[in-house]
């Protein structure tokens, strides 16, 4: 699974619980996108960034 390069957000794991309390494995995937990003030295680099980091402006797109 991809992780956010900025905040390290990744997938979370747990259980689906039915009405009769039977448990099956569940995975919640974070909304991570592959984005071209400007680095500190002005170069562009492709990295995985979550949409919350994109929305908050922690990353500048190329």
Residues 16, 10 contacting (CB under 8 angstroms): no
Q: What is the pLDDT of residues 10-56, one digit of tens each?
A: 999 999 999 999 999 999 999 999 999 998 898 999 999 999 999 99
- Specify the pLDDT at position 26: 97
pLDDT for the residue 1: 74
- The confidence band for 57, taking pLDDT boundaries of 50, 70 and 90, is very high
**6-17 exposure pattern, b = at least 16 Cβ within 10 A, e = fewer:** beebeeeeeeee
What confidence score (pLDDT) does residue 23 get?
A: 98
Q: 17 is written with which tokens?
A: 């619980």
Q: Which domains does the chain have, with CATH numbers?
A: 11-56 (2.30.170.40)
């Amino acid at each position: 699974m991809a992780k956010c390069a900025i905040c390290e957000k990744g997938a979370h794991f747990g259980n689906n619980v039915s009405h009769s309390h039977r448990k099956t494995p569940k995975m919640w995937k974070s909304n991570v996108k592959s984005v071209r990003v400007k680095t500190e030295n002005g170069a562009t680099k492709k990295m995985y960034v979550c949409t919350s980091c994109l929305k908050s402006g922690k990353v500048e797109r190329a």
